[in-house]
Amino acid sequence: MDPDSVVRAIWGKADTVLFIFAGAAAEFALNKAVDWLYFTGRLPADPLARLFSTVEYARRIVFAERAGAEQAIDSITAIHAAVEAKRGMAIPAWAYRDVLFMLIDYSIRAFETLERPLSPAEKQEVFAVFTRIGQRMGIPELPSSHAKWLQTREEHLAQHLEYSTFTADLYQQYARHLGPVRYRLLLQAQRVVAPLQVRQLLRLGRTPWLRPALFIYRYTQHLRFSKWARTSLLPDEYRQKILRLDIVPSAVAAAAG
């Protein structure tokens, strides 16, 4: 993609990436295909480790040259194929689309929450980049435009989400691995970025106290105090990994190559 792509701006900042996965963590827990995440046991055993594994793949794709991006996408496809072979059944195509749609939606929602509104052209670019990823993975029946995706996204949210025993267990794991303070921050972030259907099923509430703080954040995020406040809230064992999400795109691309 273009070196100045808005997708690289979105995925080149730790705070935005964390909000993307705060939203995805909520929706993953509700997805009717969440049993696939339990088949290997990796997600419930250590959701934070799974988060960073996913982040590393996503950033390799976003910041690599075409060949490197395609290699990363093919690796993801192979991993899923191996899981399907082990379980003896195929992951539903709609489940693949759901995950792809999450990346599109939360990339836009997180950036607009922390930075600024995106233009229609920028939203179309986010859609186009992740759609190319889905096409490389062989995911069928992908929408042809951001406008059509909006309608399909609403249909998926209405049809593919439910509160289940997997949902309850995943949230117990989030709480156990994050601790009480960070877990409450996760819930607040989810109240800000998650769609209405997700918030309702999880009973997250409507009035996040985090929103006023985010308004202040927009104007103070580059100050030393704001960066200290962020790092002080991160789990010690993952602090350096999260801070490395702020590495400039050229350095990430070189590492991925």
Mean of per-residue pLDDT scores for the chain: 85
pTM (2 d.p.): 0.87
Q: What is the share, in percent, of the chain residues with pLDDT greater than 90? A: 53
Biggest distance spanned by C-alpha atoms of the chain: 52
| Mean pLDDT (whole number) for 249-254 | 45
pLDDT for the residue numbered 256 = 42
pLDDT band of residue 255 (cuts 50, 70, 90) is very low
pLDDT at 20: 92
Tens of pLDDT, residue by residue over 58-75, are 888 888 888 988 999 999
pLDDT at residue 253 is higher than 50: no
